[in-house]
Structure 1
């Protein structure tokens, strides 16, 4: 399991970021300040670092961590949008993300940096007869050796399942993540998209083995 050193003093932001990253399969060590970071960073794969911290600021902490482990990727987080702040951060950091940000964007940037540093997990996921290549964004059917072409929404739904393997996901969770708007009870939009998605990826769409229906709750994809 890949380990993230996350340094953030805002309890609300820190809680949801930690929870989201853990749901995506990361181990997260959350510190509220830079104290002790140099000991923890030795066992970490990547650092997410807020600029505004009590005591030493994020710039100072980040520079120290880079001296300790020059090859570790660092993502700076800040509500500051000034170019000078970004330039200061990018003198030692590998990426700079301005608050507020979407968790999917943070996760994507983490994957990019881990891939560059050779620490990303496998880019292929095998589910029954299909192979998903995350690097090339392709889905291949081993029975026909042909690519399965999904629509934009179908692909987003499927990727959301793959980001949350083995988890039972509610219709509300899936809809609000993919459409970025509130789910209205009784709306059949998601069900229709999943029906068409199953027709493309399942051997028998009426008896699905990849996207399971969890009656009364939602759906799950086992890996």
Structure 2
């Protein structure tokens, strides 16, 4: 079955170029040109990935991302201005999985999309569940539960949690986590890891400032406490 993507940008030439390129790889592409249209389409259709520009009419990309996260964990890649680190950090804060800096190479865009889709494809194997007290990770469907209530996490947040939880007590440096989850060619820095760890704690922990599960080993990195 073909994958579905939503491309959102108010520059129609950019949307047209991305749409044409993705369709060469049998990806079905819908297009939106302002934030409200994008939000309405995300509510009406289940997408495999969303490419979302930061600067949009009606609603900003940040606002769209934040509102989508209230009902969906669809992977979101933010398109940000060149060299604007604050946009990148804010995108991650609002729940984006990744970001690409404009101007971009369409081959890089396609590579990022394919990598994220591969990681989020559901398998048909028997579900494997990791359980740590009130915390459960369903590895087949990439879902997280706390006290049997599902927690809405992004694909990156899930991958980070799954890696840490699969080896309790092992400390991973921020560099190791960045390379393992985001890849060695990822242009971001270690703040990306810190943002995702903080968001995970806010979602999982009763008291994020004193985490029960995702712990810090000062000067070394992060580890999972089973």
What TM-score, normalized by structure 1, do the two folds share? 0.50
Whether 1:109 and 2:100 are equivalent positions in the alignment is no
Deviations 1:164-221 (A, max 9, x none): xxxxxxxxxxxxxxxxxxxxxxxxxxxxxxxxxxxxxxxxxxxxxxxxxxxxxxxxxx
d(CA) in 2 for partners of 1:61 and 1:30? 14
Assess if the C-alpha contact under 8 Å between 2:81 and 2:87 holds in 1. Answer: no
Given that 1:38 and 1:68 are in contact with CA atoms closer than 8 Å, whether structure 2 keeps it comes out as: no
TM-score of the superposed pair, with normalisation by structure 2: 0.50
Query: Which residue is equivalent to 1:58?
Result: 61
Determine if contact 2:76/2:97 at 8 Å carries over to the other structure.
Answer: yes
Q: In terms of Rg, which structure is larger? A: 1
In the alignment of these two chains, the number of paired residues is: 119
Q: Superposition RMSD on alpha carbons, in Å?
A: 1.6
Query: How far apart in 1 are the matches of 2:28 and 2:3?
Result: 6
The match for 2:99 is: 96
Query: d(CA) in 1 for partners of 2:21 and 2:104?
Result: 13
Deviation at 1:119, TM superposition (A): 5.6
Query: 1:45·1:119 contact (CA, 8 Å) conserved in 2?
Result: no
Tell me the CA shift for residue 80 of structure 1. Answer: 4.1
Task: Give distance in 1, aligned partners of 2:37 and 2:118.
Answer: 27
- Indicate the larger mover: 95-104 or 72-81: 72-81
Query: What residue is the counterpart of 1:38 in the other structure?
Result: 39
Residue among 81, 84, 95 paired with 2:83: 81
1:162-177 map, 5 Å: none
Structure 1's consecutive aligned runs of 4 or more residues displaced over 3 angstroms after TM superposition are none
CA distance in 1, matches of 2:12, 2:37: 18
Q: Give 1:107 shift.
A: 0.6
Maintained 8 Å contact 2:7/2:50: yes
Unaligned 5+ runs, structure 2? 124-226
Between 53-62 and 78-87, the greater mean CA deviation after superposition: 78-87
Distance between the aligned counterparts of 2:105 and 2:32, measured in 1?
Answer: 21
Q: 2:141 matched to which residue of 1? A: none
